[in-house]
Amino acid sequence: MKNTIRILLASLIFISLVAFTVKVKKRQPLTVLTIKPLSIVMPTVELKANLDIKVKDHYAFLKAIGFKESGNRYDIVNRFGYMGRYQFGKRTLRGLGFEVSKEEFLSSPVLQEKAMNALLTQNKKSLRKYIGKYNNEVVHGVLVTESGLLAAAHLGGAGSVKKWFRTGKVRRDGNGVAITTYMVKFQGYNLTLGDESK
């Protein structure tokens, strides 16, 4: 008896739902049409908003600094003789252990990327005390971040960054660009470098 009642109730519910669905489709076709476009439009707007967020990872940092230095060209030499995508000087390359000719360096993107990684790692090791103490703090009116400091060290050397911390004196390169400009322009990137303590 209980099973029969359950079957009857289930049948009535099913028939009611089918009848309701038919009524909605026959009587209010516009309601169905207006709801669907809204559900499609809203996620599209949210997706567009999410695409506007800039990814600030290690690759984006290299791309941004490479663009600033050379327009991301590996084969370029500036008027001061600085070479490649990241505008390396011969003395800096020798200091990093790269004994290569100008031609070898300019024709090898792999070599240039290795040199940049070596320089970033060396500068991070040199500036680790300042990064540890001042990361995400404002010093001399500038928000300090690891990537900003490493970019500034790339422009003017780690020594000029240390001097800036001690005295507030701002070094400029041959084009008149201040190291603090790089601290601001390249701040907040999430860099992935090897163990700088070695």
Residue 68 and residue 17 in one domain? no
Nearest-10 crossing angle of helices 29-51, 2-27: 80
Residue 154 and residue 176 in one domain? yes
pLDDT digits (tens, 9 = 90+) for 147-193: 999 999 999 999 999 999 999 999 998 888 999 999 999 999 999 98
Residue 64 and residue 33 in one domain? no
pLDDT digits (tens, 9 = 90+) for 48-78: 444 445 679 999 999 999 999 999 999 999 9
The answer to the question of residue 62 being in a domain is yes
Q: How many angstroms separate the CA atoms of 88 and 105, rounded?
A: 10
Predicted pLDDT at 139 = 95
Residue 47 and residue 63 in one domain? no
Q: Are 149 and 189 in contact (CB under 8 A)?
A: no
Predicted pLDDT at 18 = 47
Residue 139, beta-bridge partner list = 142
Burial class (CB in 10 A: 0-12, 13-18, 19+), 163: middle
Predicted pLDDT at 32 = 46
39 has a pLDDT exceeding 90 = no
Predicted pLDDT at 33 = 45
Predicted pLDDT at 16 = 55
Residue 62 and residue 47 in one domain? no
Give the pLDDT band (50/70/90) at residue 11: low
Residue 138 and residue 166 in one domain? yes
What domain range is 122 assigned to? 58-73+113-185
The model carries a pTM of: 0.70
Question: How many angstroms separate the Cα of 161 from the Cα of each of 132, 146, 158, 179, 193?
Answer: 14, 12, 5, 8, 19
Residue 45 and residue 129 in one domain? no
Residue 45 and residue 69 in one domain? no
Q: How many domains does the chain have?
A: 2
The answer to the question of residue 37 being in a domain is yes
Residue 147 and residue 64 in one domain? yes
pLDDT digits (tens, 9 = 90+) for 109-147: 999 999 999 999 999 999 999 999 999 999 999 999 999
Residue 44 and residue 64 in one domain? no
Residue 63 and residue 41 in one domain? no
Cα 183 from chain centroid? 15
The answer to the question of residue 191 being in a domain is no
40 has a pLDDT exceeding 60 = no
Report the phi/psi class of residue 82: left, alpha or beta, with left for phi > 0 and alpha for psi in -120 to 50: beta
Residue 43 and residue 117 in one domain? no
